[in-house]
Amino acid sequence: MSFLPIAYFRHQFVPFAEANISIATHALHYGTGAFGGLRGIPDPNNPAQILLFRLDRHCQRLSNSARFLHYDLPADKIESIIIDFVKQNSPKTPFYIRPFVFTSDLGIAPRLHDIEHDFFVYGLELGDYLSPDGVTCRISSWNRQEDRSFPLRGKISGAYITSSLAKTEAKQSGFDEAILINSQGKVCEASGMNIFMVRRGKLITPGSDQDILEGITRDSIITLAKDAGIEVIERPVDKSELLIADEVFLSGTAAKITPVKQIENYKLSEKKPMTEMLRDKLTAITENRSSDYQDWVYAIPID
């Protein structure tokens, strides 16, 4: 990976190589951290500025995640630091920003009270996370956690052990990605992406009551589809529905919109008109080529 040269660490900007934590850091042992992730690109039409997609929503979600860790980190503070971070690095290629909040104490007791917290930001150059031509998926043997035992409205780092197990299981089975089932036996999400399917011209996705992460790209797609006159249904989804769907795609900050071409040993249709239409619209918005949804794109001037 090619990391951006400057990181935000311990309340200041430092060279990335100097942003290191102790092996005794509390969050490392107990998964008591929360992270965000957002993409940025140099503006194709103006090299003097960088574009970030839905910066405000990403910062608010991370602030909400921090609250689960009993850490008060206002969204506007996160936003200000990320803007300065981008200016410090002035990337010349598409990149990904990883802000992270965590319990920074060096104690060993699992807790969230009477403990120090901290916040850092780093970034790396990032092109396509998954193949834009499509991916193959398997149904994971690992189930998604339940909200009654884990705060799934936050991007809590400890939750991603399940994603890691599922992703590796999929790769070692000859697939690109994993689809997780929730405790009710319904389709939930992929290892780090939300999932959509198209049936009879309708766009269907598991609702927020299905133990999903409420993805920001997911929210954007729902808005785009509704504004395009497409009926969007948020409801429980059965595994068998995916296997006979007209189209299936994954969505996320890193994955953007990635079509699914096969699930288990079931090949899906090569024709994906709705997936392609939504992907084209979303790409145009993120690249500042659309007159619509301009408030979703934050432009940062750079030297």
What's the DSSP call for residue 186? -
Q: How far apart are CA 10 and CA 121, in angstroms?
A: 10
**Domain chopping of the chain, boundaries:** 6-125, 135-286
Which residues on neighbouring strands pair with residue 250, listed in sequence order?
195, 258
Per-residue pLDDT at 289: 93
Per-residue pLDDT at 107: 86
Nearest alpha carbon to residue 253 among 186, 163, 193: 193
Per-residue pLDDT at 1: 82
What's the DSSP call for residue 156? B
Per-residue pLDDT at 303: 75
123, containing H or E segment: strand 117-125
Per-residue pLDDT at 225: 98
The residue ranges of the chain whose pLDDT is under 70 are none
Nearest alpha carbon to residue 216 among 249, 194, 187: 194
239 CB burial (10 A radius; 0-12, 13-18, 19+): middle
CATH architecture for residues 6-125 = 2-Layer Sandwich (3.30)
CATH for 135-286?
A: 3.20.10.10
Per-residue pLDDT at 71: 98
Model-level pTM? 0.95
Fold match, 6-125 / 135-286: no
Per-residue pLDDT at 20: 97
